[in-house]
Structure 1
Amino acid sequence: MPRPLRVAIVGAGPAGIYAADALMKSDVAADPGVSIDLFERMPAPFGLIRYGVAPDHPRIKGIITALHQVLDKPQIRLFGNVDYPNDISLDDLRSFYDAVVFSTGASADRAMDIPGIELEGSYGAADFVSWFDGHPDVPRDWPLEAEKVAVLGVGNVALDVARILAKTGDELLPTEIPANVYAGLAGNKALEVHVFGRRGPAQAKFSPLELRELDHSPTIEVIVNPEDIDYDEGSISTRRSNKQADMVASTLENWAIRDVGDRPHKLFLHFFESPTEVLGEGGRVVGLRTERTALDGTGNVTGTGEFHDWDVQSVYRAVGYLSAELPKLPWDEQTGTVPHQAGRVVENGGHLASTYVTGWIKRGPVGLIGHTKGDANETVANLVEDFRADRLPAPAQPAEQAVTAFLEAAGVRYTTWDGWYRLDAAERALGAAEGRERIKIVPREQMLAASEAGTESAPGA
């Protein structure tokens, strides 16, 4: 009887889990069968959902329910707290699996090349998101001394950053935020948050629902300058062809014409302001300089030569995420992705045998979480085609227990899917004690201990 197709997926966020789901729905799942192992450097799965989505977005976090159903399948195993390439290399993976799919996503901040961006008080949005989402590998404290804050960018991450900065700690207390994050937000001094976009309302990358959520807080007054509501032929065309862009523009128009209320925290959405310099004094941020822009007829903008200095004491850049280069794989510095053809990793003009990519490491950090399903389906379809055509080199040690033995011999303290259930129960118990659904456990050692609780011997211990 032929053995099952053995596949390793590196990264257990949405992209990796969608790839596992696509494999389970492919024809190989029935004949000859499929055996899938997901390797995740964090002790817990779910990647971006757990560590990249704001805690006051329970609707988006509800995606975990669907991902949970995939990981519950017996053909799928989770190896958490396993780092590629330090704990397991590409050569190691090839020795255990017919194919390797990389779905490592993007978690770093894209650089922004303007003077002063390196000053104290200038931050990357990804770092701030990691802090308020309780990532175990970032500092427990965050400086929140600024009364006036600038956020650069007009995407959903910028909205998350602005909203968290503008909300009170008590508003966020019912969520899963850990004690250190609540303490930091409770002492947050921000009274004004200014969000800056280089182009106009029709070019903003907000999703309509996320934008409208800004106005739901009883403490946040959202303000749009009527002078920033402007459209050219390109903008009008965008609104006609893109329902979401039209809904965003309509929401901004409504906010621009209403009277300013008396909610204590002011959140300004500025358009046609291109950041040109972060102003500093004594090595710290003391302001932001922008150049006023104007539409050129195509939906793009040009500078007007009119500059304005804004009184802010900190700056957060939310201009995009960047993937980390993966050792042993080709790399495109310009796009921050692995070169590929429809998910097949390409090196020197040919397919790097048995090696595939999906998600943001494949196409760049754009689109919503659900868009990674299409990536996964394309990649898996080509993986299955290569398997059927006998293009995948046979692994030297295909038995499921071989990789387990390897990790244990190397002393890797890995977590499992059963371990996630234990960690999940521990976090829910912490929350229940305070009348909340969950309180996230932050320190890695505590996550590992909760994952191992009640087991006779911890994996790899």
Structure 2
Amino acid sequence: MRHVAVIGSGPAGYYTAEGCVKQFAGPDGGGVRVDIIDRLPVPYGLIRTGVAPDHQSIKAVARRYEATALSDHVRFVGNVTIGTDVSIAELLDLYDAVVLATGAPADRPLGVPGDDLPGVIGSAAFVGWYNGHPDFADLHPPLDGPAVVVGAGNVALDVARILAKTGDEFAGSDIVNHALDHLDTGQHERVTILARRGPHQIAMTPKELGELGHLSRAVPVVDPADLPPIDADAALDPGLRKSVAHLRGFAGVPADKPITVAFDFYAMPVAIEGAGHVERVIVERTAVDADGRATGTGETYAIPARLVVSCIGYRTPPIEGVPYDARLGRFANDEGRIAPGLYAVGWARRGPTGTIGTNRPDGFLIADHIAADTSDSDKAGRAGLDRLLAERGVEVVTFRDWQRIEQAEIAAARTGAPREKFVAVGEMLAAKARAAL
């Protein structure tokens, strides 16, 4: 029997569990018990609190993870904090393998003067706010003026789209009520997307760009002067070529709706200014060389802003005692191996790159490593963890408990919405307790 602890219940964690079940649960596998540990009482990580609430088709992948979670070989252990309730060293004593699937939930700092002013928010916090993450439920971002979104990827598009949508356009989504109500009071007539490089260097996919062209009260606008010669598009890969085609379609479009979503290419923020809060972003014009690197030209200008959302990437927070690569913002590892018995998977292994599906081969790779590195043992595994958590008075949430919490969220949903998420851990635990009566 192999005993495996996976820290984090997002896609990488569940794919790792699935890989371990396939590796060890067959007639010749020797058996396996996988405990998926999460500090929140609810599973699915980025699927629940990172994927845009109006992208329900993407969130549906959670049903695949549910099938793994209900396996006899896998258990969800929610409401358990690593470093507080149990340490990595203790888990290594209890399990044959400990896999860090913690993702990259921390924002990379913008790193310019004034980035600590009120009104400057990282995308992890902003996205967590409208997705109901307990850490960010009280964020209350300023929406009483123009907004600037920094970044050239899909997260920047998600943020801009959420800011620009009407309440009616959120029908069928699981955006939380506190965000929906606050967005409805917004007075941001202009949302500017700042991209350090040009249209040919974006990381925006065609689907997400296309959505901007169908908003009822907002129009996307691109300056035709920012677009490269159309003949140059032929050298792009097909997906990027489709994305650039959308940008060409936005060029020259009249700003005839209440909100303008303006793409500002070849532009990087160099300072944020304001008297006690954000008032303007100082932007430097850039030039892109043949290798795709952007450098400042010295030409600067100011963009009025009440809100700045930085969408420039994420980092994995370090864990005490685990080797960490501060330059790359992830755990130091060799193809997922950190130390004997200790592994990293997903964004915690490779940094914030790839799609949700990229985590499946990643998780199966780690399962292969565990098979190669370990053998059946008499370690205490989940029985040992249960004793330890009981001694420390930790209220563990199981997957069945989560299903009861989910049913309460579904019952509380506004008309047409799939659920109304609880946004505080105490509310989640109270819902679990009510369902147990």
TM-score class normalised by the smaller sequence = over 0.9
Which residue does the alignment assign to 1:332? 325
| Aligned position for 2:342 | 355
Matches within 5 A, 1:22-33: 22-27=19-24, 29-30=26-27, 31-33=29-31
Distance 2:121 2:259 in 1: 21
C-alpha change, 1:232 and 1:339, in structure 2 (3 Å) is farther
Counterpart pick for 1:244 among 239, 246, 252:
239
Greater mean deviation of Cα atoms: 64-73 or 353-362: 64-73
Superposed counterparts of 1:212-291, under 5 Å: 212-230=210-228, 240=235, 242-257=237-252, 259-260=253-254, 262-280=256-274, 282-291=275-284
Q: When the two structures are superposed, what TM-score results if normalisation uses the length of structure 2? A: 0.94
Amino acid at match of 1:272: Y
Give the distance between the partners of 2:269 and 2:163, measured in 1 at CA. Answer: 20
What is the TM-score of this pair, normalised by structure 1? 0.90
Deviations 1:173-214 (A, max 9, x none): 542233322221121221110001010111101122111112
Whether 1:370 aligns to 2:357 is yes
After superposition, the C-alpha distances for 1:256-300 in whole angstroms (9 at most, x for unaligned) are: 14x3152221101111112111122x2222111212222322333
- The equivalent of 2:42 in structure 1 is 44
**1:137 maps to which of 111, 135, 138:** 135
**Does the aligned pair in 1 maintain the 2:24–2:32 contact within 8 Å?**
no
Summarize the Cα distance change of 1:357–1:194 in structure 2 as closer, same or farther, 3 Å threshold: same
| Residues 87 and 27 of structure 1, relative CA distance in 2, 3 Å threshold | closer
Once the two structures are TM-superposed, the CA of residue 435 in structure 1 deviates from its matched residue by 4.1
* Structure 2 letter corresponding to 1:24: V
Cα drift, residue 94 of structure 1: 2.0
Give, in whole Å, the separation in 2 of the partners of 1:312 and 1:140. Answer: 21
Aligned to 1:188, the other structure's residue is in SS state coil
Q: Which ranges of structure 1 fall in alignment gaps of 5 or more residues?
A: 346-351, 457-461
1:36-75 correspondence to structure 2 within 5 Å = 36-75=34-73
Aligned-pair distance for 1:446? 1.1
Q: How far did residue 132 of structure 1 move? A: 0.7
* One of 399, 411, 414 as aligned partner of 2:393: 411
- 1:430 matched to which residue of 2? 412
- 2:240 corresponds to which letter in structure 1? A
Match of 1:169 in 2: 167
The code of the aligned residue for 1:273 comes to: A
Gaps of 5+ in 2: none
2:7 counterpart residue number: 10
Which amino acid in 2 is paired with 1:442? V
Structure 1 residue 172: Cα displacement: 2.4
Contact 1:232–1:299 (CA under 8 A) maintained in structure 2:
no
Partner Cα distance (1:80, 1:413) in 2: 9
Q: C-alpha separation between the residues in 2 aligned to 1:192 and 1:291? A: 19
What whole-Å deviation, never above 9, does each CA across 1:129-172 have from its counterpart, x for those lacking one? 11111111224351333321111111111111111111223432
> Which residue of 368, 376, 390 maps to 1:381?
368
**Which AA in structure 1 matches 2:63?**
T
SS at match of 2:6: strand
CA distance in 2, matches of 1:26, 1:434: 43
In 2, Cα distance between equivalents of 1:253 and 1:223? 9
Structure 1 counterpart of 2:356, one-letter code: I
* Regions of 4+ moved over 3 Å: 27-30
The one-letter code of the counterpart of 1:316 is V
* Letter matched to residue 287 of structure 1: R
1:304 matched to 2:285? The reply is no
State the shift of 1:396 in Å: 4.2
Q: Which has the higher contact order (CA 8 A, sep 6+)?
A: 2
Contact 1:232 1:297 (C-alpha < 8 Å) held by counterparts: no
In structure 2, the residue corresponding to 1:222 is in which secondary structure?
A: strand
Question: How many positions carry a matched residue from both structures?
Answer: 436
**Secondary structure in 2 aligned to 1:38?**
strand
Structure 1 residue identity aligned to 2:270: T
Is the 1:121–1:285 Cα contact (8 Å) retained in structure 2? yes
Q: Provide the rounded CA distance (Å) in 1 between the counterparts of 2:158 and 2:273.
A: 24
- What amino acid is aligned across from residue 37 of structure 1 in structure 2? D
Query: Residues of 2 paired with 1:62 and 1:306: CA distance?
Result: 46
Contact in 1 for aligned 2:119/2:142 (Cα 8 Å): no
Note the 1:71-82 alignment, pairs <5 A: 71-82=69-80
> Do the aligned partners of 1:170 and 1:186 also contact (CA within 8 Å) in 2?
no
Q: How much has 1:109 moved relative to structure 2?
A: 0.9
* Residues 226, 37 of structure 1: alpha-carbon distance in 2 compared, 3 angstrom cutoff: same
Assess if the C-alpha contact under 8 Å between 1:154 and 1:205 holds in 2: yes
Secondary structure of the structure 2 residue equivalent to 1:294: strand
